[in-house]
Amino acid sequence: MEGNATKGNESMRAPPLLATIGLCLSASAAWAQAPANGGDFDTIVANYVAEGLRSNLALQSEHLEVEKAAEALSEARARFFPELSFEARYTRADGGRVIDIPIGTSLNPVYSTLNEMLVAQGQPARFPQLANETIPFLRTEEQDTRLLLRQPLYAPAIPAAVRAQRALLDASSFNRMAIARALRRDITVSYVDWLKARSSVEIVAASEALLRENLRVNESLFGNGKITEDLVLRAKAELLDVEQQKREAENLATQAQSFFNFLLNRQLQSSIEPSSPPNNAGANQAALEQLWSMALDRRPEIAQAEQLRRASEEQTRIARKQKWPTLSLGVDAGTQGEDYRFGDGYNFGTASLIFTWRIFDGGGDTARVHQARAAEKQLVLRQEEIAQQIRLEVQQSYDRLTTARDSLATAAARADAARAAFRIASRKRDEGVISQVEFIDARSALTGAELNHNLTRFNVLARRAELEYATSTGDIPLDPGV
């Protein structure tokens, strides 16, 4: 009677476990079809990328660098135009050198003799007695107020400087584009990481619910004397292990959410819209040689290095043309005197052609030319290095995407096989054909296969984003106001 009662009790408790297993398997099958509920993956990622391009702080800082380069170009162009300035000087002097002019000493004897001759002839004296003159070298008070106009007529270094700044502006713009493309990749990959962590939490949560029900059934069976306590402890240990996995998965999901929001310059705990990743990610992949050619034609780093090389080439021209003569026009007009007045005796004006030719400077110009040439050669080598790096990035991204795409079918088949094996093990477990250890091993194999399928599927999306970055494909909707 006791054994029949126990069997009856066991049969009454078994169906809830079967129902839970069926629910978990249904959830796993549904996850295999759509890992995350939501809208279209590419559309949502494109919207987030557009938001990041508007709000990311690093990109905003790079936009300021472009503005600085644009203003530097304006500054270089301004040297073509005349420069007008106003100067005013007021001076008070005390002491200093004086000029003594002995007028009296030189002329008074002559004047005295002439006066004596006139008096002897009955005429009045006409010549005065003069005092010696003392003229100070500095005026006690003096003002000099003038307008100065300077206009370069021939300065060969100015056009070279303008061309150099224009090349630097283009280089800064290409650098901003490179940062925008890197940001697009980072946003896409971080969003994929969040989806992956979110799906992992769902998988582990389903396994936790199954093990929790398994523990309840084992405790019931142990209470009815059908199994020993070690099976209950094993079920409890497995449940605790899955709970720990769930906490780790939730922590990874929180970190992925925070980093994604950081890239978008939002509150770190802001909600993220989920999506259903496409099933054909990585399809229609071009050949590696074609991707190499595409990357070398499109990557902004190549264009940036070329513009930096052009700027260095212009710097070499500037250093060479510093040795050339220059010609400029100078016009000064204003007023001078001991007080501020205008009119004759005070107003003045000058116009000058200023020719300057620095003949010797101790070899400074030659050293600057050699320095600029060395920098230009260095940038040529940098161009070659960047091209090699891009080829390496493309090949690595290509290989990773190919491997992930090839592994996806295997991971899906593994998950299907583990799901079917666990379904069979569950039935055998309820019929008492297999041991509790075999049942838990089947469950562990299922969870591992589903987590591997989850990782592989989202890795395909991440590797696709990395290949798009390496080949510089995909539109970057840069707002000029960003």
Q: 315-361 pLDDT, tens per residue?
A: 899 888 888 999 999 999 999 888 888 888 789 999 999 999 988 88
What is the reported pLDDT for 277? 75
- Full-model pTM: 0.75
Instruction: For 260-280, give one letter per residue: b (16+ CB within 10 A) or e.
Output: bbebbebeeeeebebbbbeee
pLDDT band at 479 (very low <50, low <70, confident <90, very high): very low
Domains in the chain with CATH codes: 2-86+156-332+361-471 (1.20.1600.10)
Per-residue pLDDT of 72-112, as tens digits, reads: 999 999 999 999 999 999 988 877 777 888 888 888 888 88
Phi/psi at 270 (nearest 5 deg)? -65, 145
CA dist 80 → 68, 76, 340, 399, 461 (Å): 20, 8, 34, 54, 53
pLDDT band at 444 (very low <50, low <70, confident <90, very high): confident
Does 202 or 139 have the greater pLDDT score? 202
CB distance 248 to 208 below 8 Å: no
Helices (H), 34-102: 41-55, 57-78
What is the reported pLDDT for 222? 84
* pLDDT mean across residues, the chain: 83
Residues 188-203 have a mean pLDDT of: 91
* Interacting residues of 373 by C-beta distance below 8 A, sequence separation 6+: 316
Picking from 315, 324, 420, the residue whose alpha carbon sits closest to that of residue 370 is 315
* Interacting residues of 46 by C-beta distance below 8 A, sequence separation 6+: none
What is the reported pLDDT for 38? 59
Q: Which of the listed ranges 190-194, 281-285, 408-412 does the model predict with the highest average pLDDT?
A: 190-194
Q: Look at residue 268 and tell me whether its pLDDT is greater than 80.
A: yes
Identify the H or E element spanning 34: none
What is the reported pLDDT for 8? 36
CA distance 71 to 47: 32
What is the reported pLDDT for 279? 66
User: Which amino acid would we find at residue 257?
Assistant: Q
Phi/psi at 292 (nearest 5 deg)? -60, -50
What is the reported pLDDT for 29? 47
What is the reported pLDDT for 446? 86
